[in-house]
Amino acid sequence: MSSTRVRSQQPQQNQAGRSATGAAGASLPHRLDTSEGIEMENIQPQDLGLGGAIGTPSPPSRQAWSRDNPGFEPEDEMMGADWPAASPGRRSVSTGSSSSCSSGLGSYTAGGSSTRIHGGLYPTPTVDALQQDRHDIKSCGKRILKKIRILWGTQLMEDSDSSRERYLRNVLREMVTYVIFLITLCILTYGMVGSNMYYYTKVMSQLFLDTPLSPGDTATFRSLSTMGQFWKFTEGPFLNGMYWEVWYNNKSLPENHSMIYYENLLLGVPRLRQVKVRNESCSVHEDLRDKVQDCYNMYTPSNEDSAPFGPKNGTAWVYTEENSLNGSSYWGQVATYGGGGYYQDLSRSREESASQLRSLKHQLWLDRGTRAVFLDFSVYNGNINLFCIARLLVEFPATGGVVTSWQFQTVRLIRYVSSWDYFVGVCEVAFCLFILYYVVEEALEIRIHRLRYFKSVWNCLDVLIVVLSVSAIIINITRTSVVSNRLKDLLENHSAHPSFEPLAHLQVTFNNMAAVIVFFSWVKVRMALW
């Protein structure tokens, strides 16, 4: 926007024009003389104002002549003059908008007017109403965006030399926000685990891993070396640890309820599952074929045996696919095994389970083709609201012998029971809001700095923390949804084996990912202290 101050070309004519104007100013408005070098349309009398006395000028606006509107160059004598007040109902030229989103253009008049002041002509700009509205909306939007942008202002978005105060304010706000985020993250992470998980895992592992196979035999599950010792373990320490049917004074516990250590409820029934390889899955040298007729290779999915064997009836002798068992592959010490196989679910009582194990043993359920046996069971402790999903793995490699391993996953699948659980739930919501905030912040910083943003290792660390946090949120939502949909069904059938492995895997994955996020977050704090 610009304004032109027009002066007469000849001083003598200018003086005469002023005299003539002064004489006739009270009666009729003057018209621009073409001799003054101005080519403008005739200005009508009503254009001089919106009402009131014709020819009464409005005081010049300091806002309109501010440095935000270059082109207006008022003289000191004009700004210091005593201007008459505008008549009632007349809008002064200097009137500004009172809106918070005003752009300072409220002094424009629709029709436009011109006033001769001290020999100069100062025309009021003419602005189209639609254009004016668009300008106001655009200006208002910019101010709103500027205020919103303050929420995500960081030291990378501000130049420390341009506004030191704003730069320091952003640094302080960024630091306080990150400290609150770090506290929330630590509460969320450590609130889902605790010392009870450690002790629960410890007592369960001691019961099944360190109990001797028989009185006077020092061998334990950890030191199994033959198939015979495996059967001794299942018929001895495994059954004894799984079924606690009487108190120490021989008083019976509630029927069909096994309470391990009198505190941990056995969920469903235990399961034995084996995977096998086919005979002739490998080749024997021709010089030794007369002495070695059978050949069982190491386990691979291509070598896995799925044909019925033995009596060829029941799940123990007929192969079951992984999808039917709701299983998944498992990484053992020797190989990675699929989730299918030949399985036998035990019973709710110790006597029936012992009879099933004897039957499997006598019918040679394990043979040279057996490569791994899984013993799976799940227990729940209501005192501490924790599940323990246990898996004992006995591998029979192609070399002979036995390799044992185990996994005890102690997890909290039932959430929001105590007041502490609800507090952790609030921290979960706060964590999600923080991550949403940091996602926007990282997007703004990357938008400003482009690929240069990733030249700093610490910026890459920020992006990594955000990506891991988003992944953890997705896993947590998935875990909560799956548990709410499947937990009730798993607990209702007491005579079947409940498959808690997928649920425990999701919870353990979330816990591990949260631990990694905490680690990198504290690394960032260490960087800030340097």
DSSP 357-418: HHHHHHTT-S-TTEEEEEEEEEEEETTTTEEEEEEEEEE--TTSS-EEEEEEEEE--S-S-S
Please list the rounded mean pLDDT of every run of 10 residues in the chain (530 residues).
Answer: 40 42 41 43 46 46 44 46 45 40 40 44 54 70 61 53 72 88 94 92 96 91 95 95 86 76 93 94 83 90 94 94 90 94 94 95 95 96 95 96 96 90 94 93 87 88 94 93 86 87 91 94 80
Measured over the CA atoms of residue 172, residue 177, residue 180 and residue 183, the dihedral's sign is negative
Contacting residues for 381 by C-beta, under 8 A, at least 6 apart: 200, 263, 264, 265, 388
- Write down the residue that tokens 């002023």 correspond to: 18
The pLDDT assigned to 46 comes to 46
- Distance, CA of 306 to CA of 12 (rounded, Å): 117
Is residue 434 within 8 Å of residue 465, measured between CB atoms? no
Is residue 390 within 8 Å of residue 407, measured between CB atoms? yes
Is residue 406 within 8 Å of residue 209, measured between CB atoms? yes
- Region label for 37, one of left (φ > 0), alpha (ψ between -120 and 50) or beta (otherwise): left
- Distance, CA of 477 to CA of 471 (rounded, Å): 10
Q: Which one-letter amino acid corresponds to residue 444?
A: L
Integer angstrom CA distances of residue 185 from 179, 191, 260: 10, 10, 35
- Distance, CA of 507 to CA of 193 (rounded, Å): 11
Return the CATH class of domain 164-192+418-529: mainly alpha
The pLDDT assigned to 359 comes to 96
In the chain, where does the domain assigned CATH 1.20.120 lie?
Answer: 164-192+418-529
- Distance, CA of 377 to CA of 390 (rounded, Å): 6
| Pairing status of strand 120-123 against strand 403-411 | unpaired
Integer angstrom CA distances of residue 515 from 38, 112, 223, 335, 476: 79, 69, 33, 28, 14
Is residue 270 within 8 Å of residue 353, measured between CB atoms? yes
Contacting residues for 406 by C-beta, under 8 A, at least 6 apart: 205, 208, 209, 221, 390, 391, 392, 393
Q: Return the closest-CA partner of residue 334 out of 400, 379, 387, 272.
A: 400
Residue 313 CA from chain centroid, whole number: 49
Burial class of 385 by CB neighbour count within 10 A (0 to 12, 13 to 18, 19+)? middle
Q: Each residue of 72-98: b (16+ CB within 10 Å) or e? A: bebeeebeeeeeeebeeebebbbbeee
Is residue 344 within 8 Å of residue 316, measured between CB atoms? yes
The pLDDT assigned to 172 comes to 85
Is residue 48 within 8 Å of residue 113, measured between CB atoms? yes
Q: Return the closest-CA partner of residue 60 out of 52, 69, 51.
A: 69
- Distance, CA of 427 to CA of 186 (rounded, Å): 10
Q: Return the closest-CA partner of residue 499 out of 508, 487, 484.
A: 487
Is residue 497 within 8 Å of residue 270, measured between CB atoms? yes
